[in-house]
Amino acid sequence: MLSDKEKLEHFLQTNRHIKYIRVQWIDYSGVLRARFVPVERCLRIANGDETIHLAQNSMLIPISTAPKIFPLSDHHETWDLRPDWSSLRPCGFLNNHATVMSFVDQQEAETRFDKCPRMRLVQALKRLEHEWGAKVKIGFEIEFMLFGSDNNRIRPMDRLNGYSRTAGLRASTMNLVDEILNALERSSIRIHHFHAEIEDQLEIALAPEPALDAVDSLVLAQETIRTPCLSGPLNGLHLHLSLDKIEGALPDNFLAGVLDHMNALCAFGMANYDGYVRSSNDAAGAWIGFGTDNRDMPVRKISDCRWEFRMMDGTSNPYLFAAVVLYAGLDGLAKKTELRWKDCTFFPHLMTEEMRVEHGMDVPMPVSLRGALDCLKKDTAVAAWIGDDLLKWYMSVKEKEVEEFSKMHDDQRRIRFLEYF
């Protein structure tokens, strides 16, 4: 096995043009943060001769109050970045730069890395393989819109006007998409497919990868194409998860565990104040349940061991969300949770109450971040999965968001998100 320094040296030998490495992490608000470090210093860091120390606000700045931080303790805390040098990628949209994802290490924590979302995903993957002999692959579907320099939507004569239509992908829009795809290719991010989604909206599906690599790819892909919108379609971010096998258990138990904890999971997946418009109009499903190839449900079943989890958007911390989905599935496997929900092949908004109850769809999805956080507080299993400290810190950030964003007008909130995403 290569040492950290050997991994970095090998990468630099292959990519001799790299001068700076973005040492990156994602905070509890889902915001990507980075230190831009010259390669000479990165070599010293990889050799263990130096450490990147972070300011106390490295994880705990609510978007609603930024740049102001609110402390959870009365003493100064010490945070360090621990780059995972196996995650090195060229930065396809900026020459001479590369990226590496990091673990965050809060030195005063009772257990090292116990407040790190990325480490929680690593631990969930290890448990799944150790206890059930299963490995996970993940792919993401990224929905987005294109903007002009004044943040108005690009409106060429050839408009994007419908699902999988070629109209709109013949002129300037296609040229921009080509630029994005070329940048992703330079970053070693593989594409599964791309297509027009609905009016003015595009979707790029990333190819499935081992789970941690897949989330690393997502972070870099989002930074390549990310531009939030003030109006227009509801841009989602869908997680496709497949298990290669589960020894001594049924895939239905895994799915049942996720559905059983769905309301709490929404607090991690749809992690912003305005995100719940998606669960009130079936974009992420209005009722807890699943359906084979049913995109109006929070979970779309694709095969016995593959599902699309739709209760996620681009403001989530993807490491934390992927981790809690896996932990919920692990909970279902351990308890052999019965899949009491029936496979729903109907449009939920056209179903009668009797039909919904027959399918086990008797619990609505949360329709606000406040509602999801209340469900998270009541779900005592979550603290055992991700730790009391991490949950306390995450909840404190999100509760501050609810408090502050509720005082703002819609445009004020959206402009604030525009500044951070």
pLDDT for residue 71 = 57
Q: Which stretch, 48-57, 189-198, 371-380, 403-412, has highest mean pLDDT?
A: 371-380
pLDDT digits (tens, 9 = 90+) for 278-288: 787 666 789 99
Mean pLDDT estimate for the chain:
89
Residue the block writes with tokens 């590369």 = 98
Structure tokens at 272: 């912003």
| Res. 198: pLDDT tops 90 | no
pLDDT-based confidence at residue 293 (cuts at 50, 70, 90): very high
Chain-centroid distance, C-alpha 341: 26
pLDDT-based confidence at residue 225 (cuts at 50, 70, 90): confident
Structure tokens at 260: 């059983």
The partner residues of 138 in beta bridges, in order of sequence, read 209, 241
Q: Are residues 91 and 130 in the same domain?
A: no
pLDDT for residue 10 = 96
Among 48-52, 65-69, 186-190, 335-339, the least confident range: 65-69
Number of domains composing the chain: 2
| Total residue count of the chain as it appears in this document | 421
Q: For residue 276, which of 363, 394, 369 has the smallest C-alpha distance?
A: 369
Where is pLDDT greater, at 308 or 170?
A: 308
How far CA 317 is from CA of 7, 23, 25, 129, in Å, comes to 26, 17, 10, 23
Q: What percent of the chain has pLDDT over 90?
A: 64
pLDDT for residue 159 = 67
Q: Are residues 26 and 173 in the same domain?
A: no
Q: Is residue 413 part of a domain?
A: no
Structure tokens at 283: 């974009």
User: What pTM did the predictor assign?
Assistant: 0.92
The partner residues of 281 in beta bridges, in order of sequence, read none
CATH of the domain at 333: 3.30.590.10
Q: Is residue 113 part of a domain?
A: no
Q: Are 231 and 130 contacting, i.e. CB atoms less than 8 angstroms apart?
A: no
3-state secondary structure of 301: strand
| Res. 66: pLDDT tops 90 | no
* DSSP letter assigned to residue 230: S
Q: Is residue 131 part of a domain?
A: yes
Q: Is residue 382 part of a domain?
A: yes
Q: Are residues 253 and 148 in the same domain?
A: yes
Q: Are residues 338 and 381 in the same domain?
A: yes
Q: Is residue 278 part of a domain?
A: yes
Mean predicted confidence (pLDDT) in 117-129: 96
Counting beta carbons within 10 angstroms of the beta carbon of residue 354, is it exposed (0 to 12), middle (13 to 18) or buried (19 or more)? exposed
Q: Are 123 and 313 contacting, i.e. CB atoms less than 8 angstroms apart?
A: no
Mean predicted confidence (pLDDT) in 261-277: 93
Q: For residue 27, which of 87, 94, 79 has the smallest C-alpha distance?
A: 79
Q: Are 62 and 70 contacting, i.e. CB atoms less than 8 angstroms apart?
A: yes
Report the alpha-carbon distance of residue 229 to residue 408 in Å, rounded: 17
Report the alpha-carbon distance of residue 213 to residue 209 in Å, rounded: 6
| Res. 228: pLDDT tops 60 | no
Q: Are residues 57 and 158 in the same domain?
A: no
pLDDT digits (tens, 9 = 90+) for 129-160: 999 999 999 999 998 877 665 555 556 546 67
Q: Are residues 200 and 342 in the same domain?
A: yes
Q: Is residue 154 part of a domain?
A: yes
Q: Are residues 26 and 51 in the same domain?
A: yes
Q: Which residues contact 41 (CB under 8 A, 6 or more apart)?
A: 50
Among 162-171, 224-233, 299-308, 311-320, the least confident range: 224-233
Instruction: List the helix and strand counts (H, then E) for the chain.
Output: 13, 14
| Res. 85: pLDDT tops 70 | yes
Q: Tell me the residue range of the domain where 342 lies.
A: 122-387
Q: Are residues 53 and 152 in the same domain?
A: no
pLDDT for residue 210 = 97
Report the alpha-carbon distance of residue 235 to residue 253 in Å, rounded: 30
Report the alpha-carbon distance of residue 322 to residue 35 in Å, rounded: 24
pLDDT-based confidence at residue 389 (cuts at 50, 70, 90): confident
Q: Are 195 and 165 contacting, i.e. CB atoms less than 8 angstroms apart?
A: no
Strands 97-106 and 20-26: parallel
pLDDT for residue 148 = 62
Q: Is residue 79 part of a domain?
A: yes
pLDDT for residue 67 = 78
Mean predicted confidence (pLDDT) in 192-202: 82
pLDDT digits (tens, 9 = 90+) for 327-382: 999 999 999 999 999 999 999 889 999 999 999 999 999 999 999 999 999 999 99
Q: Is residue 265 part of a domain?
A: yes
| Res. 122: pLDDT tops 90 | yes
